[in-house]
Amino acid sequence: MWRRRTAGGHASGARPTAPAASPEPAETPAPAERPSLTIDALGRKCPIPIIMLAEQINNVPMRDVVAVLADDPAAYTDVPAWCRLKSHEHVGSYDLPQGGWAIHVRRNY
């Protein structure tokens, strides 16, 4: 298999190393954008959070954010997968103080 050489590429194939990251503890960042709609699916098992999201995402304007509150571990991975499947944007997943996550989805169409 061949590889195209780009500007600034290295003949040996080696890439410059990135500077070391600071050893700070990882935190879940706070959501940058306030959601237009919040769907409370706490206590419900998958696929119910996804079904609720699919039914209600068209109720918000284009490019607005919907927050899905869920505590089922399957929802943590299934909602972002649904976003990829349906071409919506998974903005981020944020820990809730009472347990679970607020999974933010941006409507793309």
Encoded tokens for 32:
């940058």
Tens of pLDDT, residue by residue, the chain (109 residues): 455 555 554 444 444 444 444 444 344 566 778 999 999 999 999 999 999 999 999 999 999 999 999 999 999 999 999 999 999 999 999 999 999 999 999 999 9
46 catalytically annotated = yes
DSSP labels, 36-96: SEEEE-TT--TTHHHHHHHHHGGGS-TT-EEEEEE--HHHHHHHHHHHHHHT-EEEEEEE-
> Could you tell me the domains of the chain?
37-106 (3.30.110.40)
Which of 37, 42, 46, 52 is labelled catalytic?
Answer: 46
